[in-house]
Structure 1
Amino acid sequence: MPDSVPAPTYPVTVRNRVKRLHERGRYDHDSVHAILDAAMLCHIAYVIDGQPYCTPTAFWREGEHLYWHGSSASRMLRVQKPGIPVCLTVTHLDSLVLARCGFNHSVDYRSAMCFGTAHIIEDLEEKAKALDIMIDRFYPGRNAELRPSTAQELKATMVIGMTIEEASGKIRSKGIGDEEEDYALPIYATRFPVVQTIGASEPCPRMPAGVPYPPGLAGFTAGRRLDEIMTESYRKTYGPADSSD
């Protein structure tokens, strides 16, 4: 029988090693990518003239590459244009954990940190394609229903990408974790699940009558979890597993 192929992982280095509660660390592609693909927003950390900044923005993943976009006038993107080290992070808050002492209060979460060098997408056709893919990544099939972007809109938009050089995930899902001798104390302890859900659709009041609800938005129903929709949308766009997974 042939040996099984080991699951791909990111190299563990001084930069991405989980040092605190290392047992929660994840370095395999499946775990890290699952955290990324369930999100729409990330935070990009970078340094300008010795001053650290951290900017929230929408992002998407294609294999081992991450992309984000913004205004061509954005200081963040203009600084990243020549190619600078950045750290992209994503966090999902899954629950609030109330224990029997302040020290053991916590949260359940999923997080990922990705390190790489930002670079601008200069080619206009490549940039236009990336922006089209961004729309379909979040809303499968929607780009085909839209009017094309104008030359001015493309000029006003900058797309930045980076190859994931190193990455790590970190997950806490244990719920309440008290000292053994504290469980008998008459103190209320509980776990409050936290979910971000879709609300009821609010169609534009100026939309012409008779415009049908797009089939690609079928998953966006009131009450559904956003992280589940994002994961589902990713798979609809890229398939159950992309070429790097």
Structure 2
Amino acid sequence: MRGSESMKIAIVTGATGGIGKEYVRQLGQKSDIDEIWAVARREEQLKKLGELTSVPVRPVMLDLSDESAYEEFGALLQEEKPDIRYLINNAGFGKFCRTEEVDEKTCMRMIDVNCKAVVALCLRALPYLTPGSKVINTASASAFQPLPYINLYGSTKVFVRNFSRALNREWKSRGITVTAVCPYWVKTDFFETAHQHEGNRIITKYEVLYDPRDVVKKALRDADKGRDMSALGLLNKAQHVAVKLLPQSLVMDMWLRRQKLS
């Protein structure tokens, strides 16, 4: 069944991380959500998410680096036929190091999770998105300019940002909003994975660390307003403007000096 008789759900990938958990908590406060589907790889952590909200949370264990996960996701949607009010593509990871210090398998996995899964889940979800539905894709402030030593991660987020903003235009006639969220540094366990490589830490300078609550609150507000991009904080917005005006080579030089890598 579709329409008003369908269960209204929100889907959150990367649900066990700092930003993902906050999406679960804040979406649980919305009156039009019957159930939240929390997608991640770790079953034990998924089960704990039910403690964050009174809205039922369904653990959906998927490894989004594996293409078979897209089939499982599509099959679950076909079986349940929900009305997806929010699709939050939040799963992703990065590495802070020289590009050649990351093995090829990890590089390909990063592209699969950060980019391919976003496209696949958007397409699989489309038949269950209705007028007023919101798609929120996690990009990054690193999508605004080339960033040596965060190269591959930043490049994947350029894709997510551009894909989301263009898709927002394409799906406008359907009444569906697509928003690219471009957060600055955020207080999460992202850094633990990003620094897991051989050698000394390269990226050490973080001008400001935002709280996941604020990032998610603004993302949901911007999506509800129909905006195609969400960027929290004056520093983030100033950087976005500056990189449009300055030569890219100068922007990279400034980044390297700030990290004492020049």
- TM-score > 0.5 by shorter chain: no
Q: TM-score band, normalised by the shorter chain?
A: under 0.3
Task: Compare the two structures and name the one with the higher strand fraction.
Answer: 1
- Give the number of the structure with larger relative contact order, counting CA–CA contacts within 8 Å between residues 6 or more apart: 1
Task: Compare the two structures and name the one with the higher helix fraction.
Answer: 2
Give the TM-score normalised by the residue count of structure 2. Answer: 0.25
Give the TM-score normalised by the residue count of structure 1. Answer: 0.26
